Chain A
Amino acid sequence: MKAAPTHAAAAAEFLKDSERSHWHDETLWHVRSKRDVSAQKIPEWEQLRTLASQIKDHVLSNLDNLLLQFEKKAQANGIEVLWAKDAQEHNEHVLRILEENQVKQLVKSKSILTEECGLNHFLEDKGYDVVDTDLGERIIQFNKQVPSHIVMPAIHLKKKEIGDIFHEHLGTDAGADDPKYLTEAARQHLRQKFIQAHAAITGVNFGIAETGGFVVCTNEGNADMGTHLADIHIACMGIEKLIPRAADLGVYLRLLARSATGQSITNYTSHFHRPRKGKKMYLILVDNGRTKQLGREDFRNSLKCIRCGACMNTCPIYRRSSGFSYNSTVPGPIGSILSPGMDLNKHSTLPFASTLCGSCSDVCPVKINIHEQLYKWRQVITKEGPPQVSKRWAMRFGGQVMSKPRLFELMGKMARKSLSISPRGFVYNSFNAWGKHRELPEVPKETFKDWYRKNRNHDK
């Protein structure tokens, strides 16, 4: 695949509308602040994070056995389990199920996995009308966009824009932008879709190995509205979503919603173990690059992610550049360590879209060392990614200078000299990205070495 526009270019584009960028930053910072308040209320917060991380450590080290245990249990409970190596196979499974059951109408609740697999496009090309039922997802579906955030898919849109979208698609009053009014319009519209649907597709937040069941969390109740009314339930699950025991949910559910939005729990946490009488339930287990990531020791634990989105809300770069600047299904810090594993060339600029401030790692409820992995991807990309000749040369040259004290001093002298005598126009030109909006430091009369030699001359 060819390279996406660099993150830097996309970010610069978004920042041109500085009022919007500022609003985006404030909105997400507010979510992060709510998370802080909520986490603060749990005395054992840090212990829970450690546990959540350790449980996933175990899962990743025992994934094959747990998957087999999970499958066996699920099958015994009447769930049909399917395996998919990649996105294509996943989509084909879904299509086959729809065809076999002669499904015409289907509703879907939020699933990042199906985004990753491009399921909507795949089904639409086959003539299906896929209705996303999460309000945010429905908005961006009308607007022909992809989610810009994994928990708040339409966070990039203002209510005025949503009002316009609804006016066009749902016939709401022109110019109306009251969230209550717009939500009510979506409610009426989607109720019809729920009643008519033959099949419901959902994602999976947690698969429970010991019981063969799975858990779906929503606030809107859309996953439940869909699955309990339709005859067919298709659940799509990444193989890393497994946890060993039902009781482990106690750990993850205390962390998930608090990390995501600051709520103590999502209003609906649904545990599915058997289809309704006479109805069908399918579960598709998807690899799509996950087993590869499992084999990369430095990047393996990115698979612990429970998709809470906290690393996005906290990331000072995400907040100011929005999800689209990442050009990957999962944006933000976690996306920047997952996506290079899927396509190194396409996503080669993402690990550089960070100051390595480390806030993501500290906020992450499963303690993924995100910023350290960003650093490690950088080392991989300079070796295996698209060549960057001038950067490489500059770094190599810098490295040589830094390893030779005399050369370092000489280069310093030259740079200081030329900086102090050069005309401004020469220093602050379009090649100097530093100087576009920033001054270079003033050149002092003497360096510290000069001063030290004069004032503390007890060294050789």
Chain B
Amino acid sequence: MKVGLFIPCYVEQFYPKAAIATLELLEKAGVEVAYPLKQTCCGQPMANSGYEVFGQGASDLFRENFAEFDYVVCPSGSCTLHAKEHILSNKEGEPKLYELCEFMTDVLQVKELKSRFPYKVGLHASCHGLRGLGLARPSELMVPDFNKPLHLLEMVEDIDLVHLARKDECCGFGGTFAVFEEAISVQMGKDRIQDHQEQGVAVITGADMSCLMHLEGLLRRDKSPIKVMHIAEILNGQEPDK
């Protein structure tokens, strides 16, 4: 099994630790992973702003970079979804695209993790992963319950997972929405944080660094002690920043 690692542009630049954790997690599971150095971005920022056309170059590059792989794994539900819907069209011979958590539960079928994380943790369900990729049962749908990221977190020793009042409300990031609808975006983020805060979490985690970046921005401005960590970092047993 040849796995290509796709690291979203902003994670590559600003959150290398999440990327490293992703790589190490996959390696620990015995997967042969390569990271094509010529990758940039999936083109989602352009497309979601209504400029799908300008994302074309990025899409072509994506296809080129990953043509040789059986699987492409990406630690972001949102970028995975975009690439799935707009770049790779599930044709024969194309690599299969997976978000990290679903790759671990569905393809690798990970049963145990050797990691420990003795902290109170709130899981933020990022929408694109949740509803677009089906990483968990969205609260609107009346189907049997399941939650892939949570399932993985539950394998971590000593982790204390909290219940949120609104378990899958959007955080308000939404790409360029965060800037063009600044006021609402900020309010949604603050409301989300408050839900976690009321449960006394030390760390907010999730499968999408973009939502966490938005929440982190608010937390740091408020000088809050709450940290954000990508789910890969927790699954990989990393400690929160001091």
Using a CB–CB cutoff of 8 Å, the interface residues on chain A facing chain B are 7-8, 11-12, 15, 18, 21, 25, 29, 36, 39-40, 42, 45-46, 314, 316-317, 320-321, 351-359, 361-363, 375, 378-382, 391-392, 395-396, 398-405, 408, 412, 415-416, 433-434, 436-444, 446-453, 456, 458-460
Contact = CB atoms under 8 A, between A and B. Distances in A.
Nearest to B53: A399
B17 interface: yes
Contacts of B20: 448, 451
B166 A402 contact: no
A63 B30 CA distance: 57
Interface SS of A by simple majority? helix
Contact of B55 (A40, A381, A399, A449): A399
Nearest to A377: B50
Interface of B: 7, 9-17, 19-20, 23, 34-41, 43, 45-58, 60-61, 127-128, 130-132, 138-143, 166, 169-170, 172-175, 177-189, 191, 213-214, 216-218, 220-221
Contact of A443 (B14, B40, B49, B188): B14
A437 B218 contact: yes
Given A405-B39, A437-B186, A444-B17, 7 more contacts: A36-B139, A355-B127, A358-B130, A395-B54, A401-B40, A402-B40, A441-B213
Given A356-B128, A448-B12, A452-B37, A434 B217 contact: yes
A403 B60 contact: yes
8 contacts: A8-B181, A8-B183, A12-B183, A316-B188, A321-B184, A356-B127, A359-B127, A444-B14
A441 B52 contact: no
A449 B50 contact: no
A361 B138 CA distance: 11
Interface SS of B by simple majority? helix
A46 B187 CA distance: 32
Given A356-B128, A439-B217, A12 B182 contact: yes
A395 B46 contact: yes
A452 B23 CA distance: 10
B191 A402 contact: no
Nearest to A453: B37
A447 B12 contact: yes
Contacts of A399: 43, 46, 51, 53-58
A452 B206 CA distance: 23
A258 to B, nearest CB: 11
A267 to B, nearest CB: 24
A408 B188 CA distance: 31
Nearest to A452: B35
B72 to A, nearest CB: 16
Nearest to A371: B131
Contacts of B128: 356, 358
Contacts of B131: 357-359, 361-362
Contact of A405 (B11, B61, B175): B61
Contacts of A42: 142
A433 B43 contact: no
A456 B7 CA distance: 15
A139 B78 CA distance: 43
A36 B17 contact: no
B47 to A, nearest CB: 8
